[in-house]
Amino acid sequence: MTLVKLGVNIDHVATIREARYKGVTQGEPDPIEAALICERAGAHGITAHLREDRRHIQDRDIWQLREQIKTRLNLEMANAPEIVEIALKLKPDIVCLVPERRQEVTTEGGLDAAGHLAALTETRKKMADAGIEVSLFIAPELSQVEASAKIGSQFIELHTGSYAEHFNEPARREHELKRLVEAAQLAHRLGLQVNAGHGLNYDNLKTLHQVPHLVELNIGHSIVSRAVFVGMERAVKEMLGLLDGYRG
């Protein structure tokens, strides 16, 4: 039994659907069906990002996810008033606050928690009052970890994009791993729980085992891509296999 959990991000199942069925209330593939397959395959949670521009996940998707999945629903979201209000009504198990830019293909960087202490603290308090845990998606920078503790979030999610981008460059990979290790160690000392995600795949996951105190990894694109060839259930099980041996 692995010590680190797998949350599967199903956004890009919806991306494929929206490529043909944008603006239609039905269409395939169905991200809800994908989520249920992920659960049956052993995933510990489901992640979905309700973007302000609704480019992939739609409002109806998150409500159906809330009703149908049996594991943990992680709602990724910008700290935007409309989305905050939806989250307070939806009551996911946890929200992960992320930066959001309309032009980006996917979330490109970490949240500037240090620069938005007041706004993020206000939202964290609203979520706490609704019984919803909060995670902040941040770069592995010590100042951002410290700010996350001040805000009072229960979790941080370390942005592993730079690690993934430079994985095939040994010197840079080691530098990025060191940043992740130091950020995770500080977070643990400050009482924060540590998740991680972005750009993680079947090639770079094992090396990430060097990062301590990880609770959950949130992985989407790589699993959906693999599922094109082998199916969603096998893709999830293969990823779970790569988590075996993590000792925290």
Q: What is the pLDDT of residues 206-232, one digit of tens each?
A: 999 999 999 999 999 999 999 999 999
**For residue 85, what are the contacts with CB-CB under 8 A and spacing of at least 6?**
none
Question: Is 136 inside a domain boundary?
Answer: yes
Segment 194-209, tens digit of pLDDT: 999 999 999 999 999 9
In the predicted model, what is the mean pLDDT of residues 108-118? 90
Q: Give yes or no for residue 107 having a pLDDT over 80.
A: no
**pLDDT category of residue 106 using cuts at 50, 70 and 90:** low
Name the average pLDDT for the chain: 95
Torsion of CA 145, 146, 147, 148, to 10 degrees: 50
Q: Is 35 exposed, middle or buried (0-12, 13-18, 19+ CB in 10 A)?
A: buried
Number of domains in the chain: 1
Question: Is 156 inside a domain boundary?
Answer: yes
pLDDT at 101: 65
Q: Is 102 exposed, middle or buried (0-12, 13-18, 19+ CB in 10 A)?
A: exposed
Domain CATH for 230? 3.20.20.70
- Report the catalytic residues: 49, 76, 198
In this structure, the number of other CB atoms found within 10 A of the CB of residue 170 comes to 9
Question: Is 42 inside a domain boundary?
Answer: yes
In angstroms, the CA 67 to CA 159 distance is: 29
In angstroms, the CA 130 to CA 23 distance is: 31
Q: What's the half-sphere exposure (Cβ side, CA atoms, 13 Å) at 68?
A: 17
Enter the tokens of residue 129: 């009052």
Q: Which pTM value belongs to this model?
A: 0.94
Write the CA distances from 226 to 8, 189, 193, 198, integer angstroms: 13, 36, 29, 16
Question: Is 168 inside a domain boundary?
Answer: yes
Segment 5-26, tens digit of pLDDT: 999 999 999 999 999 999 898 8
Question: Which residue segment(s) compose the domain that 141 sits in?
Answer: 5-243
**pLDDT category of residue 109 using cuts at 50, 70 and 90:** confident
pLDDT at 247: 86
Question: Is 74 inside a domain boundary?
Answer: yes
* 221 within 8 A of 204, measured Cβ to Cβ: no
Question: Is 248 inside a domain boundary?
Answer: no
In angstroms, the CA 121 to CA 113 distance is: 9
In angstroms, the CA 44 to CA 9 distance is: 11
Q: Give yes or no for residue 36 having a pLDDT over 70.
A: yes
Question: Is 50 inside a domain boundary?
Answer: yes
pLDDT at 88: 98
Pick 52 or 102 by higher pLDDT. Answer: 52
pLDDT at 1: 47
Segment 171-190, tens digit of pLDDT: 999 999 999 999 999 999 99
Q: Give yes or no for residue 2 having a pLDDT over 80.
A: no
Say how many residues make up the chain: 248
Torsion of CA 132, 135, 137, 142, to 10 degrees: 150
Enter the tokens of residue 153: 């979030």
3-state DSSP assignment of residue 31: helix
